Chain A
Amino acid sequence: MSALGLARLLLRRDLALAWRQRGQVLLAIAFFVLTASLFPFAIGPDPNLLARLAPGILWVAALFAMVLSMERTFQADFEDGSLEQMVLAGLPLPILSLTKALVHWLSSGLLVTLASPVVALTFSLPPQLYLTLLASLALGSLSLSLLGTIAAALTLGARRGALLVPLIILPLSVPVLILGVMAVQAEALALSATPHLLLMGAFFLLLLPVASFATPAALRQALD
């Protein structure tokens, strides 16, 4: 079977797995909403202040919600040996890594993005910013999923992996965070969000080859 055919099978299988464990996926969304809703308690309910801080708060909450599920990306397949079987079946590691990143994005980044307008509503974010917020979260979370697969592969079989993944991911995700928040803030100041969104796209394209080198290199060491 061709590599792309195998990748399609893997995609279908992983999405089916995610669908059957939808409680776990929903847990990440609940975590996102909960983290964001802590801020009005912490900084007070002033609607103007909350509207100004909303992009940053939503972005940090989305980042945390995504980091939570990153560690599991390869874990189950590694432990029961199916990762090894996939490699033996002829699935090239770079394609496997990118497929896993796509599954992670579909089951966390995309859902967090779709849930964000509801939270933004409670922060009284001006309605004309919703589209930019959705675009910046969708684009940025793609990069985060790629970074997440690198970290997940690097920490495969490590002790305290749950603590290591955030330590690796959070410094590397700062550019995404800065650009994502700046895009929404630029729109709020009636400037154009396009340059920031373009830069986020460039960052994603830069990460594609980096992740398709680094994740396979890390997986190969884990499978040795």
Chain B
Amino acid sequence: MDEEFRAGLVSLLPRFRRFGYALTGSMDDGDDLVQSACERALTRLDQFEPGTRLDSWMFRIMKNLWVDQKRAPRSFREIGADPADLEPLVVGDAEREMEDRLSLAAVRRVVATLPPEQRSVLALVCVEGLSYREASEVLEIPLGTVMSRLSRARMTVGQALGIGAKAGAKAGG
């Protein structure tokens, strides 16, 4: 059981890192969160119910740790401070590279401005691809709350990317 459990966690590490990145807005902070969550998971092996989803179980641990950390005095670095966000991409012409980098950073910046409860729903559903039902189980909130938080988050992101303004301008013209 133990070995199987560890192997399962190892195979899911890329997804845990992605979820951590989406929650914290930083690769380094995300990895710190994954590491803490892995350590915690190994001490709570007996609490995992075989047959249930290991990824959901870990997402819940990560989310709870993140909420605890946010309450602690040290706050996470602002998004964009991660040097990786400033790394040049290796191909393409310079102008396009710049545009790509700025726009991807813009998406992440908008996400980082969302309230934590919206960000965790967004990360589970839009980034990790969980169903609303699965997200409601991980976060231990009602389905309707998942939907309302998600819609608010998604409208904020869409509008921040200028999509709503463009559509509105078109409708008017």
Say whether A associates with B.
no
